[in-house]
Amino acid sequence: MEAMKNKLLVIILLSFAICCLVLTVALTVEPTLTEILHIGLEGEVSVEASELEAVSFDFGRLSSRGEKTTLAVVRPASLDDVVKVVKAANKWPPFAVSARGHGHSINGQADTRMKGVVVEMGKGIKGPKVWEKEMYVDVWGGELWIDVLKATMEYGLAPMSWTDYLYLSVGGTLSNAGISGQTFNYGPQISNVFELDVVTGKGEVMTCSEERNSDLFHAVLGGLGQFGIITRARIALQPAPQRVRWIRVLYSNFSTFSKDQEFLISLHGKPASQRFDYVEGFVIVDEGLINNWRSSFFSPSNPVKISSLNADGGVLYCLEITKNYHQGNADSVDEEIQGLLKKLDFIPTSVFTTDVPYVDFLNRVHKAELKLRSKGLWEISHPWLNLFVPKSRIEDFDKGVFKGILENKTSGPILIYPMNKNKWDHRSSVVTPDEEVFYLVAFLRSALDAETLEYLTNENRQIMRFCHDSEMKVKQYLPHYTTLQDWMDHFGDKWTQFNAMKMQFDPRRILATGQRIFDFVQPSTVITKDDM
């Protein structure tokens, strides 16, 4: 009898061990193409090696994982397709889902990082719908801003806030902030959105706004794609001008330059006739750059020489400003411009002016892109670094970086311009310095070869180390970190809320894994009843 009991116990234990083994195997299996290819999509699904490789590269071209992580590329034909992909990703075993707009990220943020699917949002969806009387436009999340502009201009309307480059997706810029020279006046693009449709990480479609699901609305704006995929955005419009008077003036002294920039953005509450419509600037540490970058402002037959302008520390600063107008008030524009310029303290002989259609001004960077593409200089590495620097430390930054670390050498434009914090909604996920005025400093450099890439990458590290050691409290724009602690430090007081929103709207952490903020829920993770 005792022998039979022992035999029965052995059988039970063996059965239990086999069950555990089966469960372990089931939980560690990777997602297969079967689940991805057979979820009934209207759009396209591709597993071609060349297409998997193509989506593994972004504008930065700093890394590529290719087929190692991307199992398939989905081109949705509808909102329902996006929902189906996300819901399929939540089944066990789960897989990562990355929404890709125009692929203009720098550090692989649009990559899946783990095994998963890239959803190309810009394919197969109808264009913008303009509501002329209501003064807004409904836009698919993958739509490019250039196409939004073209659609709204047919009604004589345009969005208020822009980025310098228009071949970016709406969902992509709204997931970061969307900034340019209009930000001082209208705020970033995320401050000019009325409503969003979002597919959360749980596959739920939620419409959100200030009044409806407001917690998700504010979390998604500047949320780096962590809480949901933006499938529709309702964007505020205003009457569009016809033309732009585009002006550049030079400074040899940084204090004077920054004082004038800060004065100009302080006019944001004034009537249009008493302020400029766009305020940016750039740093010139390389004499060739001023004569070749972005436009033909400076005549090749009469190039500007840094040495002839008594540049402080061998560095010049260019203030870039514009005045929008209609043909009917062209005469008054010159008077308004002269009145504003008299209040500035630039080098008197350095005023350069041109006049262009409004659309041409907004799309100005695309012309430079076409030139670079024709020379094979577009699809190269771009180790960009974008920083928000507090106003109180911007002169220290000038001395330590522009006149120090850079050593009168660069490999691309360096933008610098201030913004007003009160134009940013503190409820969004974006993190900015805790001062009323802060600067964007953007190092938009390019690397033709591995040696240059290594040099610029090391220089970026030096800049970040200098900021850290000087306790400048800068914040990265388009942030990139590789450790959880760095992300927690980046978000600061916002981290607790950010983490809570992630757990609420994407508990399996399948979305935007390329940002490297949250660890993907691995198939070996223990399943609870709530997961079933």
- Active-site option among 35, 51, 111, 164: 164
Helix (H, G, I), strand (E, B) or coil at 450: helix
For every residue of 339-407, DSSP letters joined together read HHHTT----GGG-EEEEEEHHHHHTHHHHHHHHHHHTT-SSSB---EEEEEEGGGHHHHIIIIIIIITT
Nearest to 478 by CA among 228, 54, 168, 120: 168
Predicted pLDDT at 529: 34
Rounded to whole angstroms, the Cα distance separating 403 from 308 reads 18
Nearest to 157 by CA among 208, 197, 192, 196: 192
312's tokens: 């402080």
**Pairing relationship of beta strands 205-209 and 70-75 according to DSSP bridges:** unpaired
Helix (H, G, I), strand (E, B) or coil at 92: coil
In tens digits, the chain (532 residues) has pLDDT values of 555 555 555 444 444 444 444 344 344 445 556 666 678 899 999 999 899 888 888 999 887 654 468 889 999 999 999 999 999 999 878 899 999 999 999 988 888 877 899 999 986 688 999 999 999 999 999 999 999 999 999 999 999 999 999 999 999 999 999 999 999 999 999 999 999 999 999 999 999 999 999 999 999 999 999 999 999 999 999 999 999 999 999 999 999 999 999 999 999 999 999 999 999 999 998 765 555 544 445 545 555 665 566 666 678 999 999 999 998 888 899 999 999 999 999 999 999 999 999 999 999 999 999 999 999 989 999 999 999 999 999 999 999 999 999 987 778 899 999 999 999 999 999 999 999 999 999 999 999 999 999 999 999 999 999 999 999 999 999 999 989 999 999 999 999 999 999 999 999 999 999 999 998 665 444 333 343 3
Rounded to whole angstroms, the Cα distance separating 29 from 485 reads 30
Predicted pLDDT at 5: 53
258's tokens: 């920054």
Q: Give the contacts of 420 (CB within 8 A, at least 6 positions apart).
A: 184, 265, 268, 436, 437
Nearest to 506 by CA among 94, 172, 196: 94
Instruction: Identify the helix (H) or strand (E) that includes residue 157.
Output: strand 157-159
**b/e map 427-442, b = 16+ CB within 10 Å:** bbbbbbbeeebbbbbb
134's tokens: 């209501």
Q: Is 369 a catalytic residue?
A: no
Instruction: Identify the helix (H) or strand (E) that includes residue 70.
Output: strand 70-75
- Active-site option among 35, 58, 120, 280: 280
Q: Is 164 a catalytic residue?
A: yes
Predicted pLDDT at 228: 98
Residue 345: what are its φ and ψ, rounded to 5°?
A: -120, 50
Judged on CB neighbours under 10 Å (0-12, 13-18, 19+), 44 is: middle
Q: In this structure, what DSSP letter does residue 94 have? A: P
Q: Is 435 a catalytic residue?
A: no
Nearest to 265 by CA among 181, 368, 348: 181
Neighbours of 364 (CB within 10 A): 17
Tell how far CA 38 is from the center of its chain. Answer: 33
Q: Report the predicted TM-score, pTM, of the whole model to 2 decimal places.
A: 0.89
Nearest to 504 by CA among 208, 64, 235: 208
Rounded to whole angstroms, the Cα distance separating 346 from 389 reads 23
306's tokens: 């840094």
Q: Give the contacts of 11 (CB within 8 A, at least 6 positions apart).
A: none
Tell how far CA 457 is from the center of its chain. Answer: 20
336's tokens: 């308004």
Torsion of CA 463, 467, 470, 474, to 10 degrees: 160
141's tokens: 């999340």
436's tokens: 């009323």
**Pairing relationship of beta strands 116-120 and 70-75 according to DSSP bridges:** parallel
Q: In sequence order, which ranges of 286-357 are alpha helices (DSSP H)?
A: 287-292, 330-341
For every residue of 483-497, DSSP letters joined together read SHHHHHHHHGGGHHH
Q: Which residues pair with 416 in a beta bridge?
A: 441
Predicted pLDDT at 93: 81
137's tokens: 């436009």
- Active-site option among 104, 218, 382, 480: 104
Judged on CB neighbours under 10 Å (0-12, 13-18, 19+), 476 is: middle
Predicted pLDDT at 290: 54
Predicted pLDDT at 510: 95
Give the full edge-to-edge strand order of the sheet including 437-443.
352-357, 243-251, 316-325, 278-284, 414-420, 437-443, 385-390, 475-476
